[in-house]
Structure 1
């Protein structure tokens, strides 16, 4: 993807090594121009005002004005797509930044070697090209509305504690990419712990960040949320999150459904793979299945949607208006197999309506 109009990028990072590494990668992308850099948040704010970049890469831990304050000010005064550059140790901070309006994140270079440069290049290039033209109006609206909408959803979702036993196991599988972490949190935080549904999530994310993602979801949700490990049991009221860089699939052991964490197949670009999780869920048999496709780049999930429908499952996709990137839902909808297309704030209630019918 080469943009007709050059993408002008500002690099904000107090590490000289990181600035050089990121700039070197970005300047190799056709149609991309690094128009400046800043060594702290204070300088970054001045450069944003002066240069008006199309996209910013942002370190969170900086002197004077940190990344969170920088994010808040930019989102209020000059909303601009921001990709956070973060280490694994800062996982919790990454998800806070995404809630504040950052579009996506990439792993920070951790060693002064060309190997590290190559390790982050593909991820950074792909996300820059997709995120640079993000509709920031959507990001701002989602950020402002997030806390209020979760409270409102919880107030209207049906109570589940008095429901009768439900025949076959009921499994909800959720796939997301760019813009996904706040979207997944929006849905799961609106569902009560006594719901007789099992949940699994494949969110495109590098290795080392999904444990912090699961821990953050667990903090804000009544449901039990865990990073999946091989052998974990799928249980009502529990959410298993696929580990970054791997795939989450399922197997049966007697009457139980167990998680299995496996290495990616050859040529798989998007990990954890939504298609792999959806397809495996469809192969379980004797399961009432709902697939949910949320915001994200690419077509991951489309083939899995077909598999879910082949076994009588149901599929919900996020609509274009609420998506940060309308790639994955668009491809899912194009299969002709999606049952409902809804704004993000309506998906939690629809999952329960269909799952408890």
Structure 2
């Protein structure tokens, strides 16, 4: 029996963009563009008769903007939505407003609506659509051209048992993807200022991580910032890996610091959770806690297993609270996870582990 295609509705006020996006998505044999609409009103009429699996939605449109339409969709008839917008750093507040409203992913659209410019984001868009089709979306209240899949070996060698040196500092490393922007807010805003230092890989395009960190920082008691190369890891601080660059934990004497490196995508991502987790296995060992959260794919599964083998505590977000249970599911299947917890329990687990001063999670 042939595999069912992912059916997509494209909503964009530019006729040329609708045509190009249709071409891009239709080139994937697993995707079918069921319809296009020039604005949210036309899209709403289409939704009365037929529901897509995924909506690809622009933000800046006449009569009704995309975020308003997104809120209406998520309140009345939740459907996975991908924002494909030309807004960049200057419009990042709107992009995070879209995440809050229920968007499962964002694919930046070039400001110049030419075929060549849009084709440059084609692989990213196709993968985002197929990922979104598997997302678990719920009603909201107001609040590919396949790349060669590399492992963390492309960035640093495997960790060696006994190589890490003793330290009294505790460190938390988190890997997260689709659904992570709101999930991370839930975790970080519940943490007190005496929490351990936290390193976070959130799969996000270049240019958005600094604004994302500022948004989290404004909502949290702890300090949240985009990570910088060479800076020390401080308690009560969370560091977001810059988009399109890998983040590693390293050691300066007996203190932890951060390394930001270029390099190829690992597990098809840059930054990669596998890279962060491997570095934590090597340099923190039993003093680390690795957490894998909502996201599509298997990035982080192998690195988390390396952490566990070198004595680190590990946990995963449970299926019920994930937008996409891909990354936690793969980590569990690899034997990398000690404990599975709900999203609402993660901050508590961090503090229990930190206060216990033991290399494994409390039961």
Q: Calculate the TM-score normalised by the size of structure 2.
A: 0.85
Partner of 1:177: 177
Secondary structure at the aligned position of 2:120 is classed as: helix
Secondary structure at the aligned position of 1:5 is classed as: coil
1:223-242 correspondence runs (5 A): 223-242=222-241
The answer to whether the 8 A contact 1:168-1:287 is kept is: no
Higher mean alpha-carbon deviation, 235-244 vs 22-31, is at 22-31
Report the CA distance between 1:267 and its aligned residue: 5.9
Report the CA distance between 1:94 and its aligned residue: 1.8
Structure 1 residues 305 and 22, CA gap change in structure 2 (3 angstroms): same
Matched, 1:250 2:259: no
Question: How far apart in 1 are the matches of 2:211 and 2:48?
Answer: 33
Q: Calculate the TM-score normalised by the size of structure 1.
A: 0.87
Higher mean alpha-carbon deviation, 315-324 vs 86-95, is at 86-95
Task: Provide the alpha-carbon RMSD of the alignment.
Answer: 2.1
1:252-291 correspondence runs (5 A): 252-265=251-264, 268-285=267-284, 288-291=287-290
Partner of 1:157: none
Secondary structure at the aligned position of 2:288 is classed as: strand
The answer to whether the 8 A contact 1:171-1:287 is kept is: no
Report the CA distance between 1:303 and its aligned residue: 1.1
Partner of 1:103: 104
Structure 1 residues 70 and 285, CA gap change in structure 2 (3 angstroms): closer
Higher mean alpha-carbon deviation, 83-92 vs 97-106, is at 83-92
Partner of 1:121: 122
Partner of 1:5: 4
Partner of 1:150: none
Question: How far apart in 1 are the matches of 2:126 and 2:171?
Answer: 35
Question: How far apart in 2 are the matches of 1:76 and 1:250?
Answer: 41
Question: How far apart in 2 are the matches of 1:31 and 1:333?
Answer: 27
Give the helix-richer structure, 1 or 2: 1
Please, which runs of 5 or more residues in structure 1 have no aligned partner? 148-166
Report the CA distance between 1:268 and its aligned residue: 4.5
1:112-261 correspondence runs (5 A): 112-136=113-137, 139-140=138-139, 143-144=140-141, 168-195=168-195, 197-261=196-260
Report the CA distance between 1:48 and its aligned residue: 2.2
1:318-357 correspondence runs (5 A): 318-357=317-356
Question: How far apart in 2 are the matches of 1:308 and 1:286?
Answer: 6
The answer to whether the 8 A contact 2:294-2:325 is kept is: yes
Structure 1 residues 321 and 273, CA gap change in structure 2 (3 angstroms): same
